[in-house]
Amino acid sequence: LILRAEGLRGDRTTPVDEQIDADGDGVDDTSQDAVAHQKADGFYLMAQYYWDRYWNVGYRYDDTDPALQMAQQAADPDPPVRDRANAGLDQIRANTIWVTHFTSEFNRWRLQYSNRDTNFPLDGGKTSEDLLLLQWIFAMGPHGAHKY
């Protein structure tokens, strides 16, 4: 049995030059310094069980908060922050199961099913999708054990 988990977090602030048309004539009149703030985080948990040399089954749970971005004026002492707490929990969650058969050390077949739920309240709400994948992975060509 193999258990894996990983967590990721990103928090980035980038200066942005924001042009402002103060009088509405179509020509930028002033320039203000602004900040683009971007946050993202997520994690996964995975379990994989090999019941013999040629077969394994697995399960993976993913929970991701995609990168959210909002330009904030540097002069604002209390800028609004668009994050999970006040944006309505933008999230992507997925449950995946699979079975893998190794036909040789150079060939394997995998049948995988995933159910993915997304929640973007500011962009239309919840959606769900089901994916069924059949994967064939093979290796060919020279390798260290043989000289060709």
pLDDT digits (tens, 9 = 90+) for 16-27: 666 666 666 776
- Per-residue pLDDT tens digits for 100-144: 999 988 899 999 999 998 877 666 678 889 999 999 999 887 767
- Judge contact between 20 and 28, C-beta under 8 A: yes
Q: ∠ CA 108-112-114 to the nearest 5 degrees?
A: 155
* pTM flag (> 0.85): no
Give me the count of residues in the chain: 148
Q: ∠ CA 105-47-113 to the nearest 5 degrees?
A: 80
- Judge contact between 67 and 39, C-beta under 8 A: yes
pLDDT at 83: 44
Q: How confident is the model at residue 81 (pLDDT cuts 50, 70, 90)?
A: very low
Q: Which residues pair with 109 in a beta bridge?
A: 101, 136
